[in-house]
Amino acid sequence: MSKNCQGCGALLQNKDINKIGYVVDLEHEICRRCFRLKHYGDVTVIHKDEVIFKDLLQELKQVNGSLVLLIDLLNYDTRILDMMETHFKDRQIVLVITKSDLLPSTLSREKIKRMVNISLTDRKIDHVAVAVTSLKSKPSIENLKRMLSRVRGDLIFIGMVNAGKSSLINAITDSNSLTVSSFPHTTLKINQVEYEGRTLYDTPGFKFQGYLEKLSLKAANQYAVLKPIKAKTFQVSDPQTYIIAPFIILTLTPSEPLSVTFYVSETCPFHRCGKRALDYIQKHHPEMTALNSEIRYNKINETTDVVFSGIGWMSIKGKAESIIIQTDLKSEITLRKALL
């Protein structure tokens, strides 16, 4: 009889070591990759291309239940809300903001909820509640459990890759059966856990971000926020160039003295330079001279965030004449009203 890996949901097989779900012995409950991830934090086989976005969406539509949509604000892309509106508008949705321990302490729960509610009001999404959770706060998990007990039927946990879906289900069910890792693409198939008479579905995440996909998993991990984020703030009165290597060169020209804050991981390759930006790039990141798309925003008049999908964001407080961004992936940069 066929069975699926309890960690990542892949169908267990003992034929091909390079394919998903490989086990030496079909009696095992988890695949070799999950075993190695759980015990050694080691990714032996990468399955980046295994989850096909369109197929996942179709599969999710076949599953009955209410949705629990997880959002990691450090990787918040409003396109996921657009997707909810288009594909799941008849479902009840509980929104969960995860990893609150990593957010700046100036961002209160109330502020988070207010901000999320603003993004929801102009979309037709039947959201029943907004919860803010952290694995480090037991009360936040208990609070979520109470919320979920008021929602009907089975629950399908969805969100972007690495939003914390598998971890949250483990926390709710007080188990560690689902495989969790800081690498994206850990959960490979829709997986089920029984809990208090209903089914919780763990799912592979969606991904929009293209930046990190180009890198090896190890290199991509530099951009993941694993510790509480420390904002980097600069006062700017002359044009300044900021570099997020190897993806983004951003030149900000202020209209008046302003402040700019970057919310990126501590290990993110981030540099700031004035007029000598080009020299710096030629010396340290010659590959970046080939970034061949340009985005230009003129006249920024309100407090605005420039979001670099999968990496973080930059917040501008004050008026700017222009922002010019050189990048390879235009679609991964968006503007939004400032979060903080």
Ligand X SMILES: Nc1nc2c(ncn2[C@@H]2O[C@H](COP(=O)(O)OP(=O)(O)O)[C@@H](O)[C@H]2O)c(=O)[nH]1
The residues binding ligand X (CB under 6 A) are 98-99, 101-102, 134-136, 159, 161-167, 180-182, 186-187, 205
CB 269 within 8 A of CB 244: yes
The partner in contact with residue 64, picked from Mg ion, ligand X, none with C-beta cut-offs of 5 to 8 angstroms by kind, is none
105, 152, 117: which is closest to 263 by C-alpha?
Answer: 105
CB 154 within 8 A of CB 92: no
Minimal distance in Å, beta carbon 59 to ligand X?
16
When the beta carbons of 24 and 52 are compared against ligand X, the nearer one is 52
When the beta carbons of 256 and 266 are compared against ligand X, the nearer one is 266
When the beta carbons of 41 and 274 are compared against Mg ion, the nearer one is 41
Kindly indicate which of the ranges 43-51, 166-174, 215-223, 310-318 contains the residues binding Mg ion, using the contact rule CB under 5 A. 166-174
When the beta carbons of 85 and 101 are compared against ligand X, the nearer one is 101
Token output for 230: 């420390």
The partner in contact with residue 167, picked from ligand X, Mg ion, none with C-beta cut-offs of 5 to 8 angstroms by kind, is ligand X
Minimal distance in Å, beta carbon 133 to ligand X?
6
For 30, 53, 195, 254, the CA distances from 85, given in Å and listed in that order, are 35, 17, 28, 37
Indicate if the alpha-carbon torsion angle 118, 123, 124, 129 is positive or negative. negative
Rounded CA-CA distance 300/316 in Å is: 9
Minimal distance in Å, beta carbon 232 to ligand X?
20
Binding residue (CB under 5 A) for Mg ion from 4, 170, 187, 326:
187
When the beta carbons of 4 and 166 are compared against Mg ion, the nearer one is 166
Rounded CA-CA distance 173/176 in Å is: 8
Tally of CB atoms within 10 A around 194: 10
Minimal distance in Å, beta carbon 301 to Mg ion?
40
Q: Decide: residue 139, CB within 10 A, 0-12 exposed, 13-18 middle, 19+ buried.
A: exposed
Binding residue (CB under 5 A) for Mg ion from 6, 133, 166, 181:
166
The partner in contact with residue 135, picked from ligand X, Mg ion, none with C-beta cut-offs of 5 to 8 angstroms by kind, is ligand X
When the beta carbons of 168 and 340 are compared against ligand X, the nearer one is 168
Rounded CA-CA distance 44/239 in Å is: 45
Residue 167 in the binding site for Mg ion (CB under 5 A): no
Token output for 184: 């994206």
